[in-house]
A and B are shown apart, each in its own frame.
Chain A
Amino acid sequence: MAEFNTSVKDHGEISTVYLEGYLDAHTAPNLEETFSKLINNGKYKIVANFKDLAYISSAGLGVFMAFIEKVRENDGDIKLSAMNDKVYNIFDLLGFPLLYEIFKTEDEAIKKFDETK
């Protein structure tokens, strides 16, 4: 079975979700739950850190699409960061850079939130 884990770290009102392992149709519900918890707690400024994500399929990308509107309606965003080339390539093939801000590092993503306060 594929291993996938998330952990969350707060930086003031911004929350970083660290993704680790393999994100596929089996593990996507785990990420959905993480986003649901954040949103239920009024956390709408979210940075996803992909540094330790080895693999993503469209089921994983779908999770980002499922939550983005709710988050933006509440003056928040999901900003993506630290993807390896392979993972970025999948986001790129599906046109995600049109709708999501993608940063090289988590710090840059956090900074962007701070700038747009």
Chain B
Amino acid sequence: MDLFHSIPAMTSALSANALFSLLTLVCAWLTLALMGWLRPHSIRFVARVLFPVGALACLAVAVVAGVYLATGQVPQTIVLPLGLPDLPFHTRLDPLSAFFLLVLGLAGTGISTFAAGYFRTGEGTAPALLGLHYHVFLAAMAMVILADDAYLFMVAWETMALSSYFLVTSHHRIPEIRSAGFLYLIMAHVGAICILLSFGVLQGGSWHFTFDAMRGASLTPFLATTAFLLALLGFGAKAGLVPMHVWLPEAHPAAPSPVSAMMSGLMLKTAIYGILRISFDLLHLKLWWWGVLMLVMGLFSAMFGAIFAAVQSDMKRLLAYSSIENIGLIFTGIGLSIVFETHNLHLYAALALTAALVHALNHAFFKSLLFLVTGSVLHATKTRNLGKLGGLIRHMPWVAALALVGTLSIAGLPPFNGFVSEWLLLQSFLFTPQIASSFLNMLIPLGAAALALTAALAAYVMVKFYGVIFLGQPREADLVNAHDANWLERLGLGWLALGCILIGVLPQFAIGAAGAVTHHLLNQAVRPGSTMWWIAPIAPEQASYSGLILLAGIVAVVGVTFVLVRILAHGRIRRTAPWDCGYPWQTPRMQDTAEGFGQPIRHMFDVFFRMERHLPAPDDAAPRYRVAIEDRIWRGVYRPIARSVQWLADVISVLQGGRLAIYLLYSFLTLLGLLVFVL
């Protein structure tokens, strides 16, 4: 009884000290990172002991952020006595950062739990290094979100990029992984430069780099646009917005699965956080066409990602492209919110932003879940190639069941969580006719159609993903030896699957948390609904949805039908061979392959691809069919850039002749030049 009464007091104390608690938890991660060195070669110590403790810290972060969002919501600041002498680290907690910490904590709990069971001896780098990079990565993401000055932000941002680079390349003996890591590093740094320049513009001549100073700076529309575009470029490169997406399908498959999950589920969200922080908080003005630009880029990324995901035959690459799609959807929501906000439709702006935030939360859950599932499948079968999988539902029932939850969620199907955010996004699209600009009125409904196409394509992609891996007959003989995941892995997957279901049936809490953010940023929040049974963001007679009753209804009807069929008919089942259409010589190889499943997409959207196909001759004794699909942007944009950099480097390398006399001549000429310049 005493405990029960002390809960309100405890939550208010926690809420008041939220930032301090969060910083303590970040320190806890850093300590865990260093503790690996106590027994640097023991996978049992690092993975089975330190990672679960890290998972608990994740859970604590989520709890603190959640309590803060529910009760406090007053910004808190702490100046840390770290950094350079006259440049201390500023940290700040407000609803925006609390929401993203909630995402980080909730999904991180599942990922760390899974990782505890995942890492094996002899895979990749030494356990201590792995633990170090992993926990530094977590701490750096938290610090990015908590930073309140450009200096700390960039330090944390770079730490995040570097630690994740080392995690990506933990199997560094494989050349493809090294080159994927290198590409990731380049893109991360190009992005970081853009962000740095954006902060440079944002300080507006005051030369104070705290976020507080930037909030006070008044920029001309031109400078504000420059800052916004630089931020969009920088954060877009991190988030994987097309055309800055090229690193994502290379780096995500290269990393060990828990790291892919962290990068896709959590790290991409820090980029979303960054763009929101700059465009909604630091910049004091917004222009309507920024929103349109983000909307168009977001929708294009979403379609691009979905289409490319459909033609992949590597399961992790497929998920990586699907991340591009989901990031596109989030950017679409943010863009729409800016369009509404600049047309003074504040409530609808809040609705679109809520949709984007809830989708960010959902994506953290289902994408982490699916990446972790690929990890279990990879350990069980040693292959990422969809053409060599199949029928795993019979050998890995746990993973298959939990993966089904993730699959249905990411496909945007009610009553799971992916549907909630897509529904909210479509709802916000419905209000675009109220924008007082007939040009936008005409164009934006087409955006809604593109959104619907993307959502339906995502369902196609996920049917392919789940069907080819888990259903059907095993395409290789040794798949029957596949083993299910261990209990720690199941626990991690189960946590994430539970999140997918709970957010789906009780979206009120997620919408409420996002509402705290929109209230902070836009002074408006959509109501989750009049009762706790359904959500009706604008008005119940306009649109309402209840995942809980939907799920209960389906379960009830299914239950009643099952019982009735058993009573009125019978429950007899006779097991036979599958129907072979009169052709008994069928093999598992005759099932539709991943390539076959992608064929309609290749056929319909061929403008997106550069495709090379080699068909076997009719009388070929050992026929081989080969199809290579390439991204046009890679060939059209990145190859020329790489070539010109190479050319420039070659030109400059002429200077580097290797003879000392020549170098001395350079010094002499430089001195001479300087003298002429000075005199």
Tell me if chain B binds chain A. Answer: no
Chain B residues with a Cβ under 8 A of chain A = none
